[in-house]
Amino acid sequence: MTNREFFLSRWEPEQPAFLRVLRALPADKLDYKPHERSTSAGDLAWQLSEELRVLAGVTESGDINWESGSRPATLDEIVAAYEANSDSVRKLVSSMPDSRWDGPGRFLFGGHEAWKATVSSVFWGFLLDAIHHRGQLSAYIRPMGGKVPSIYGPSADDTGGM
């Protein structure tokens, strides 16, 4: 199994968990923050979608440019964007030749190089960062009045069918 194939084998089972967390957010409380210095729930949810959109925009040269768009007003719009962006990444990685996957990549933030590695390393880094932010977001759900979904196993609110 190649690194790219392994990425996809780890990517696919994570996507339903991301969607469960996003859909568990109380739609009327997207401005919730557990602390004044924390990112709001809606902005974190949007960041998850934007990370996928940025990855799907990887150029032939391996550049990945971070330019965040404005957060939609509703949770439904955020979830729809996440689903579309996830599908774009799936298709891109599935069809990407290993030579490009293993080739040079750069993550640009504000037009400046923030990270230089292989395209695969950048994709893995984004996946791990997204998992981190999913965990952060899942900790917001109960204080927001929602029910924490099953992620890797049962939660106090969702037995995950167990």
Q: Which helix (H) or strand (E) holds 66?
A: strand 63-66
* Mean pLDDT for the stretch of residues 52-59: 88
- Residue 162, pLDDT above cutoff 70: no
Q: Which residue has the tokens 């030749």?
A: 97
* Mean pLDDT for the stretch of residues 47-76: 89
Residues paired with 64 in a beta bridge:
107
CB 17 within 8 A of CB 23: no
Domain ranges of the chain: 3-141
CB 79 within 8 A of CB 41: no
Averaged confidence pLDDT in the chain:
93
CATH of domain 3-141: 1.20.120.450
Max CA separation in the chain (angstroms): 48
Q: How far apart are the first and last CA of the chain?
A: 32
Q: Which residue has the tokens 């952060």?
A: 136
Q: Which residue has the tokens 């962006």?
A: 85
Residues paired with 134 in a beta bridge:
none
With a CB cutoff of 8 Å and minimum separation 6, the contacts of 138 are 21, 24, 148, 149, 151
Could you report the per-residue pLDDT of 74-133, keeping only the tens digit for each? 999 999 999 999 999 999 999 999 999 999 999 999 889 999 999 999 999 999 999 999
Q: Residue 64's pLDDT is what?
A: 86
* Structure confidence at residue 57 as a pLDDT band (50, 70, 90): confident
Sheet containing strand 63-66, edge to edge, reads 63-66, 104-109, 112-118
Q: How far is CA 113 from the centre of its chain?
A: 21
- Residue 59, pLDDT above cutoff 90: no
* Residue among 8, 2, 6 nearest 91 (CA): 8
CB 66 within 8 A of CB 110: yes
